[in-house]
Structure 1
Amino acid sequence: MNIRRLTPDDLPSASALCLDAFTQAVAPSLSAQGVATFGAVASAQAFAARMEGDNLMLVCVAEGAVKGVIELKEGRHVAMMFVAPDWQRRGVGTRLMQAALEQARAEVVTVKASLSSVPAYERYGFVLAGEVGEFAGLVYQPMEKRLAS
């Protein structure tokens, strides 16, 4: 397993991985609006646009293919994290999270976790930080992790 920055060549596979994992784990619990919102956010074009901003995007590559993606916005917010369904519980998420947090630029890192991903974020050391919310059909649980200074 190799963790590295997302490149333009990775965009189609990174987008497909996020959409596949989302469709299996999150989409069944959301409205059509939430599914459409995520589809727009996870498109290759949207990833490409965010690459131009202050977003750290890392991928985990194994067996010659992208197996996981994490996006850290402005050095302080986990905007997206997905692991290929057949690679979950094999350390991909842990490695991605560690690599992203090593480059965090804030004392507290936040995430708006999908409800199905809350247990995973708890394993990474995040705690609940507010009430469940909803934005454009996406339902989320605010969470945060205080980093050692």
Structure 2
Amino acid sequence: MFVRKMEEKDLESVSATCMASFQQSVAGTLSEEGVSTFSKIAATNAFLERMKGDNLVLVAEIDGKVEGVIELKEGRHVAMLFISPECQKKGIGKALLSSALNYAKVETITVSASLSSVPAYEKYGFKCKGEADESAGLVYQPMEIILNKAIHGPIS
């Protein structure tokens, strides 16, 4: 497995990876509005716009194929973390998160976790903060991790 910054040539693969994982794990728990909202966020053009801004997008590549993606917004918020359905539970998410946290600009990193992903984030060291909420049809649990206690060690 190789973790690297996303390039424009990866846009289709990144979008497809996010959508496949979302469809398997999250879509069935949301309203039509939520599925539509996520589809817009995970579209190639949306990734391209965020990539040109202050969002860091990393991909996990296995045998030349994108199998996972993480997006760190403004160095402080995990906006996306998706692994291809057939590659889940193999350490890809942990490797992506550990790599992304090296780019953190603050000590406390947040995530608005889909309810189905809360156990995975808890395994990574995130703690629930507040009650689950909903925005544009997306249901999420606010979570955070303090980096000096994170999986990758102290921030430098």
Give the corresponding residue for 1:17: 17
Aligned pairs for 1:95-106 (under 5 A) are 95-106=95-106
Give the corresponding residue for 1:135: 135
Aligned pairs for 1:36-47 (under 5 A) are 36-47=36-47
Task: Tell me how far apart the structure 1 counterparts of residues 147 and 15 of structure 2 sit (CA, whole Å).
Answer: 29
Gaps of 5+ in 2: 149-154
Give the corresponding residue for 2:91: 91
Report the Cα offset of residue 64 of structure 1.
1.3
After superposition, give the CA deviation of every residue in 1:73-127 in whole Å (9 maximum; x if it has no partner). 0000000000001100111001000000111010100000000000000011000
Task: Tell me how far apart the structure 2 counterparts of residues 147 and 5 of structure 1 sit (CA, whole Å).
Answer: 21
Give the corresponding residue for 1:108: 108
Counterpart amino acid of 2:16? A
Task: Tell me how far apart the structure 1 counterparts of residues 90 and 128 of structure 2 sit (CA, whole Å).
Answer: 25
Gaps of 5+ in 1: none
The list of structure 1 runs, each at least 4 consecutive aligned residues, that deviate by more than 4 angstroms after superposition, is none
Equivalent residue of 1:51, what SS? helix
Equivalent residue of 2:119, what SS? helix
Equivalent residue of 1:134, what SS? strand
Task: Tell me how far apart the structure 2 counterparts of residues 147 and 23 of structure 1 sit (CA, whole Å).
Answer: 31
Report the Cα offset of residue 14 of structure 1.
0.3
Give the corresponding residue for 1:75: 75
Task: Tell me how far apart the structure 2 counterparts of residues 75 and 125 of structure 1 sit (CA, whole Å).
Answer: 18
